[in-house]
Amino acid sequence: METEVAIQAEIDRLRRALGDFSERIVCGQLTGKLPDNFLEQFSQLPDRPLEQVLRFLPTRQVPQMRRVSRKFNNVIRKGSKTMPKKERNGSVVFKSCNTGELSVELRDYDNKIVKTTLADDRVALSELFRFMRIGGRMYFGEGLSAADKVLDQLSKAWVTIRPETVIFAGDLSQTSRDSLRAFLEKVEPSVKWLHFQYANNIGNSLLSDDVIGAAGRLDGLMVMPMCLGSKLRDINIGDRTLLAMVDSDEVLLHFFVMGCSGITPAGIRAFAM
């Protein structure tokens, strides 16, 4: 109650001050002299209209416009997260052939390839996704292409990725449970097929029922680690993952795992039913 009275008093005070202020302006006392370039500045658009202009431009032209000026670049960088995005439905392939370098290939259905190489600190990966909405297939190939720092960028809330299939086929030695889980949660609404296909260096505790579970309901799961000449490591996936897939509506369902000791004959029986 007391605070309400205080707030009301404050509002009254401000109102009086504002009224007083506006009258003084009218009398011309506050107009004063304008800075010399005051009107010139209006021949340039301020940030908000500029951003609005960008939203109406064809998506492919927007990144080019970053070259116009620093100011324009800043507006684009600031606003691009919420700008209209271009739909991409082919596949996107990540590779890391050299340490610290990540190459991204965008392939269309007609196999047109756009290739870009992102050096670690020069261009953030998320930069690439400012103007695209990724669908189709995501393939983490060669090298440390699915390392935490890559997955973390992809998991950022505003990056739009809607892959149906996600394939891990590279070196997973620098991939942690937390980052993988966050990534799978991110793609959960769209992903149907999840493959760990010839992936190597899968950490002991990387894959487990609850990590895979973050991807939601799947129509296909493949866990086939690379194990040439070495003993197959045990993978901690059990009946829970297997049985979660039984609920899938898809008829063409596949489940292919190697080295998962947690799967029991009883689980397989229930799955086959």
Q: Which stretch binds another protein (CB under 8 A): 108-116, 142-150, 219-227, 259-267?
A: 108-116
Residue 231 interacting with another protein (CB under 8 A): no
- Give the residue with the Cβ less far from another protein, 10 or 23: 23
The Cα 224–Cα 213 span in angstroms is: 18
Least Å distance, CB 224 to another protein, is: 31
For residue 81, give the DSSP letter.
G
- Give the residue with the Cβ less far from another protein, 67 or 231: 67
The Cα 143–Cα 16 span in angstroms is: 68
The Cα 8–Cα 14 span in angstroms is: 10
Residue 182 interacting with another protein (CB under 8 A): no
Residue 128 interacting with another protein (CB under 8 A): yes
Residue 121 interacting with another protein (CB under 8 A): no
What SS3 state is found at 191?
Answer: coil
Residue 215 interacting with another protein (CB under 8 A): no
The Cα 46–Cα 53 span in angstroms is: 11
Helix runs in the chain, H state only: 2-26, 47-55, 61-64, 70-79, 125-128, 148-154, 177-187, 209-213, 239-244, 265-272
Residue 34 interacting with another protein (CB under 8 A): yes
Residue 45 interacting with another protein (CB under 8 A): yes
Token digits for 232?
A: 């197959």
For another protein, what does the binding mask look like between residues 48 and 77, x meaning CB under 8 A?
A: xx--xxxxxxxxxxxxxxxxxxxxxx----
- Give the residue with the Cβ less far from another protein, 83 or 214: 83
Burial class (CB in 10 A: 0-12, 13-18, 19+), 61: exposed
Residues within the interface to another protein (CB under 8 A): 15, 18-19, 22-23, 25-26, 31, 34, 39, 42-46, 48-49, 52-73, 78-79, 81-86, 104, 106, 112, 114-116, 122-123, 127-128, 131-133, 156-160
